[in-house]
Amino acid sequence: MTNRLKDASSPYLRQHQDNPVDWYTWSEEALTKAKIENKPIFLSIGYAACHWCHVMAHESFEDPHTASILNEHFISIKVDREERPDLDDIYMRAVVALTGRGGWPMSVFLTPDLKPFYGGTYFPPISSYGMPSFTQVLMSVIDVWHNNPQGVQKNAQVLTNAVQSQFQVPDETDQLVNLDSIVQNLYQNYDWQKGGWGNAPKFPQAMLVQFLIQRAMKGDHLAEQMAIHALDHMAQGGMYDIVGGGFHRYSTDVNWLVPHFEKMLYDNALLAQVYLHAFALTGDPVYKHVATNTLGFLLQELSHPDGGFYASLDADTVDGEGRYYAWRMNALKDALSQEQLTLLQNTMKLSEEGNFEDGLLILRYKDNLHVLAEKLDMAIEKLLEELSSIFSILRKARKKLAPPTIDNKIITSWNTMTIQAFTEAGLLLEQDSYLTAAKDALNFLLTHLQDETGNLMRSWSQGKANNPGTLADYAGLILALHDIYEVDFSPSIFNKLREVFRRMCTEFSGDGHLYFDTQKSLSDLILRPRNLQDNAVPSGNALAAHAHWLVAQYEHDTQSQEQFLNMVKTAYSQAGDHPFGFGYWLEMADLMGHPAQQIALISSGGLDKIDQFLKVYRNKYRPESVIAARYKGIDESQDLPSLLADRKTLDNLPTAYVCLGHTCLQPTSNINQFEKQLDSKNQSIP
């Protein structure tokens, strides 16, 4: 017999529809029932690709005895953290304040007025590893709820106050931004043996590497060394799925070998961009290979037929965690010719004993691919080509196994990152198929996740959009609209950007320089979270700061420029000591340190007449530049970006205006002169 979750929008919630637990979604019905019956709320938060969420579900939520305790004494609510990141943020802070650590599944107990009074993460069915069993936890909560209600209320208020204090960010905007010291800090903590930062578990830190690439473009050699070293080690396999493309969530060891096997859309969108930008910086074909394979994985495994991209692939299959991605030697021998197997043996450590559980093999190169190519006396391009042929065969062999489950939610902010990745790759690599994927995804968001009044929703599943959009959704959509605008300079796209920007500023504004993460109209929270720190994805405020920077460049908007500066300085007051939690902010701080470049292209002919100029502009990664164009066919009755105002052609020829900090050089219709003007900006670091 199914419970209420059978009709939930989230695939994660629907995974629990057959539990004997009388689950509710986070809804007015559940919250009202808790108040009327004066019962504590048991709030369980997780997500579809979470391994330990599945473990606790099988051990406890499918157990009739445990369910009977929950059903009699609690209002049990199941939440998908990806649909409601605000709830996850608020109550995870409470759990961390209580226990000193966080994670998923999150198990937290609330009063009927939604204040947390006790919680943790995974609880086992039997007391072990120093943890009480889940039923022991439930009985303790029941006891204290009935026998010490004053203690519960006191603890709830203390915890709520602790959470509120964590969201209070001082508006410090007078601290000098010194990015050289940040690079030095990262350099001192860098792992020059294995790549990356820290011990196991090891995360890819895409935003930090992106910051280092931006610094490297200005001549910072320390930044370039770290970025290249990290990207090279991650590209060797293990956490990076060299057979199917795409990255797993993180490495459980320092060697990047054994991953936590879930694959998240946001990780792959961010890492595809980083490898693409590294290719633009260095010309290394390995980086292009990783970027395009990652994008190929997204198209093959996570794309919706109508556009848009699904949230994740599960870590588990019916055969066990990671079994879909690991190999046995006899399977490799059966699938490949002797010549192909020999190439794998020359590039990887393959053994019958394996390097993973149960004698399985996770494929990872012995060394940097350039080093291997040199040892094999092969051109790197030839080695990549032959390995790609092998992996194509292995992908077909892999598809005979039970695949991981797809979480087919389409999340707005994660899709906006993916749109940016495909757009940038399409323009830099001149791949129209990537641009088509980006435009289709944007169209999906505008069609299915924005209503007729302009309100943006957080996620879509089974034909229905759900949950109000967050700050990250709105700000991310602005950035995605910008990238699509730079493809063909559609006035309607730019005006949509303006519309979403105005709504973001109105709906999320707060006191001080930062925005709230939730809209004003949301009423089912004990407080409005206002998060500064980046996590696995950029914070909503970091994305909003970037949106302000873009609007300032296109519209010569001094108010947006001032807002951008104040937001970055506020974040930097904390980023200086904790750079690992502020990767995207550091990218913004790098933008702040140099005048932006604005380019306007004017033509009385069609888009093809400015194609030469666009090719020159797009042959490099230019994070500090924006470009706008007016050509025949553009509807000038719509408001065009202010950057295009009062621009005329020279002698009726396609004409470029290159400006630095809104101060323009002489307009030119000469393509060589245009290239010199673009590159005349002083990008070196003293």
| Distance set, CA 557 to CA 144, 561, 643 (Å) | 57, 6, 10
Q: Are 538 and 584 in contact (CB under 8 A)?
A: yes
Amino acid identity for residue 69 in this structure? I
Q: What is the pLDDT of residue 1?
A: 76
| Distance set, CA 669 to CA 268, 382, 616, 633, 654 (Å) | 40, 41, 13, 20, 6
Q: What is the pLDDT of residue 686?
A: 32
Q: What is the pLDDT of residue 318?
A: 87
Q: What is the mean pLDDT of residues 388-410?
A: 96
- Pick 4-166's CATH classification: 3.40.30.10, 3.20.20.150, 3.40.50.300, 3.30.70.2700: 3.40.30.10
Amino acid identity for residue 129 in this structure? Y
Q: What is the pLDDT of residue 683?
A: 41
**Rounded distance, CA 432 to CA 414, Å?**
22
Residues shown for the chain: 686
Two tokens, residue 385? 């080509």
**Rounded distance, CA 249 to CA 358, Å?**
22
Topology of domain 179-324+406-520+530-592, per CATH? Glycosyltransferase (1.50.10)
Q: Residue written as tokens 């990780």?
A: 267
- Coil vs helix vs strand at 131: strand
pLDDT grade for 576, boundaries at 50, 70 and 90: confident
Q: Is the model's pLDDT at 171 over the cut of 80?
A: no
Per-residue pLDDT of 617-631, as tens digits, reads: 999 999 999 999 999
Two tokens, residue 8? 């939930």
Q: Is the model's pLDDT at 130 over the cut of 70?
A: yes
Mean pLDDT of the chain: 95
Per-residue pLDDT of 389-398, as tens digits, reads: 999 999 999 9
Q: What is the pLDDT of residue 444?
A: 98
- Tell the burial category of 511 from Cβ atoms under 10 Å away from its Cβ (0-12, 13-18, 19+): exposed
Q: What is the mean pLDDT of residues 651-680?
A: 96
pLDDT grade for 684, boundaries at 50, 70 and 90: very low
The pLDDT > 70 percentage for the chain reads 98
Spell out the SS3 assignment of 5-45: HHHCCCHHHHCCCCCCCCCECCCHHHHHHHHHHCCCEEEEE
**Rounded distance, CA 61 to CA 54, Å?**
10
Q: What pTM was computed for the model?
A: 0.96
- Residue ranges per structural domain of the chain: 4-166, 179-324+406-520+530-592, 329-398, 597-679
Per-residue pLDDT of 301-360, as tens digits, reads: 999 999 999 999 998 888 888 999 999 999 999 999 999 999 999 999 999 999 999 999
**Rounded distance, CA 92 to CA 84, Å?**
12
Q: What is the pLDDT of residue 452?
A: 87
| Distance set, CA 558 to CA 174, 629, 657 (Å) | 19, 22, 20
Sign of CA dihedral 18, 24, 27, 33: positive
Q: Is the model's pLDDT at 125 over the cut of 90?
A: yes
pLDDT grade for 174, boundaries at 50, 70 and 90: low
Q: What is the pLDDT of residue 173?
A: 64
Q: What is the mean pLDDT of residues 231-250?
A: 97
Q: Are 366 and 349 in contact (CB under 8 A)?
A: yes
**Rounded distance, CA 663 to CA 477, Å?**
29
